[in-house]
A and B are shown apart, each in its own frame.
Chain A
Amino acid sequence: MKIEILGSGCAKCKLLAERAEEAARALGVPYTLVKITEYPDIVARGVMTTPGLVVDGVVRSQGHVPTVAAIQELLR
């Protein structure tokens, strides 16, 4: 599973990365987590409000930081 955290490095992006990491680990599936911080890369993925969560190329959440439990649902 490929998890991408989109955002230019604001506090919310860091929080999202931490929670996504925790959720992925709890699920126990192999994953890679990458932070996408450059604007051209963010707009190329169809995200307009950061922080964004992209899983295997699909936008799963943007503009807010879901809870760990909610992210687990999004990763399933």
Chain B
Amino acid sequence: MHGEPKTCACAAPTSVQGAGFWKSGGWLLAALPAWFGLYLSLKPMADWLAFRVMGLQAGSRLGEAVAFFAYDGPKVLLLLGLVVLGVSFVQTYLSPERTRDLLAKRTGAWGNLLAALLGIATPFCSCSAVPLFIGFVRVGVPLGATFSFLVSAPMVNEVALFLLLGLFGWRVALLYAATGVAIAFLSGWIIGRLRMERHLEPWVMEVPFVASSGAEVPTGFAARLELALQATRDIVAKVWLFVLAGIAVGAFLHGYVPAELLARFMGKSTWWSVPLAVLIGVPLYSSAAGIIPIVQVLLAKGAALGTALAFMMAVAGLSLPETIILRKVLRPRLLATFLGIVSLGIALVGYLFNTLM
């Protein structure tokens, strides 16, 4: 972020004593005010860049597009960096092992609800979906609760919620969280009631298995902060380009395309827009944070809220790569049931919002 002495840690592991305070998190005291100062000066800086340095006309199409990008791009990246750092730090206290132990042997609807809620904050990467799935079901987490977790974890993640909060306000963020948890809860509950355990691949329950203890995770403030910084670098490195591309498209549309353009295709009155958004979104793969700038564009140009949210949920919650990975543990009928129920749930949420709002 702001020139914290990170690189010196590798060059000189036995660093001088005075660097101890700095290295164990003291740099945060300097970085946080710098962050806020930068955030507050973004708007004047963007206007200065577009209208003074580049000499563009205020109110002109090009001028407004450039000013929008110069303001929104750094703003979203700054928000993303701070949010991911904070969340990653909190997440060092919430391991998948702890979530697993909370859910083990918890049968019935409460287990599904708890799983859907824990899915919001537990760190999860879809590349770990198979070992995590096996780690859950083998210690006795019910199949339905495992699915509730698997739906909620990628779809309703904390980074997405904070970004929704920052860009669209608490109402949209809350709606997204509540409906996302509801879909995860219900789809997991239905799969549990269908008793589809026999549609797991046989090796899942037969393979020699050792439960992960999670005991190797480092503790202590400095170590947790170090982990959080690393996660922040990973996530920001993965999504920043998508975020900027989304905003660039947004800036272009902001200046050049009439706001009603998308209303015809993605407005409330077009009944097929919700299922189409889900059909397009399901195979696509992006983290929820990467898709938000695109949703911002869709909304700004006349797409209905329900349609835009359904698209976002479909992209974040289900994907072709994850489906291929899950096929290793799920037989076709269970995999199809899972995809079908979750897609249906997302489409219903889309219609619900388009009707209510």
Which A residues fall within an 8 A CB radius of B?
7-8, 10, 12, 39-40, 42-50, 59-70, 72
Contacts and interface: CB of A to CB of B under 8 A. Distances in A.
B127 A48 contact: no
A63 B207 contact: no
B13 interface: yes
B203 A40 contact: yes
B10 A69 contact: yes
Given A43-B135, A59-B212, A67-B9, A8 B130 contact: yes
A10 B227 CA distance: 20
Nearest to A10: B127
A17 to B, nearest CB: 15
B135 A48 contact: yes
A42 B128 CA distance: 11
A61 B214 CA distance: 9
Q: Report the 7 A-B pairs with minimum CB-CB distance, sorted nearest first.
A: A46-B210, A48-B135, A48-B212, A49-B128, A10-B127, A40-B207, A44-B208
Contacts of B127: 7-8, 10, 12, 50
Interface residues of B, number: 33
5 contacts: A40-B203, A42-B131, A43-B138, A48-B214, A49-B212
A48 B10 contact: no
Given A48-B212, A64-B234, 10 more contacts: A39-B328, A42-B131, A43-B135, A47-B212, A49-B125, A49-B132, A62-B212, A65-B234, A66-B230, A72-B13
A60 B216 contact: yes
Interface of B: 9-10, 13, 96-97, 100, 123, 125, 127-128, 130-132, 134-135, 138, 203, 207-214, 216, 226-227, 230-231, 234, 325, 328
Contacts, number: 81
B212 A69 contact: no
A44 B207 contact: yes
Contact of B207 (A12, A43, A60): A43
A50 B135 CA distance: 12
B96 A48 contact: yes
Nearest to A44: B208
Nearest to A66: B230
A45 B230 CA distance: 25
A49 B13 contact: no
Nearest to A49: B128
Given A49-B125, A49-B128, A68 B213 contact: no
Contact of B216 (A43, A44, A50, A61): A61
B128 A65 contact: no
B224 to A, nearest CB: 12
Contacts of B138: 43
Nearest to A39: B130
Given A60-B216, A64-B230, A69 B9 contact: yes
A12 to B, nearest CB: 7
